Amino acid sequence: MESLLVALLVLFLCGITTHFPTGMTIYKDVIGGDKMFSDIFKIRLRDDGILYEVEGSGGMLVKGGSTFEESLIMEDADPANNPDIDSGTTGVDIVLNHNLQETSFTKKQYTDYVKGYVRRVKKHLEEENPERADVFVKDVQIAYK
């Protein structure tokens, strides 16, 4: 299946990361604490230093956490004999694996949302890392032009 590229606003130097003994790292939103993605995906920090590009692919998540393709490997891969195959959810694996919710914005709604989010991040940085706050705001303005 063709690979998809998803750009996520992740706060470099300000995002929350959780490191597990297995070596996996989960990246979380610093404001809401939502799990955004993990290092099982191909991740690239863009030149602007503000956005990560995370490469995912389309797929299906079925009950029990296995993917449709994994289900076909089973000896008895007939969907009639495997009802979980039919009860799956399709979408981008990054979204499915981290329970992210799809949103729909008009251009104005998106702009308003990003402005509010940037204000919350700036406030967070002013409390936690004051020297980074003004740099962050400047970098975000450049990244979103």
Per-residue pLDDT tens over the stretch 1-23: 444 444 444 443 345 566 667 77
CB burial of residue 53 (10 Å; 0-12, 13-18, 19+): middle
Report helix angle 107-128 to 130-143, nearest 10.
160
Per-residue pLDDT tens over the stretch 91-134: 677 777 767 777 888 989 988 988 898 899 899 989 988 988 88
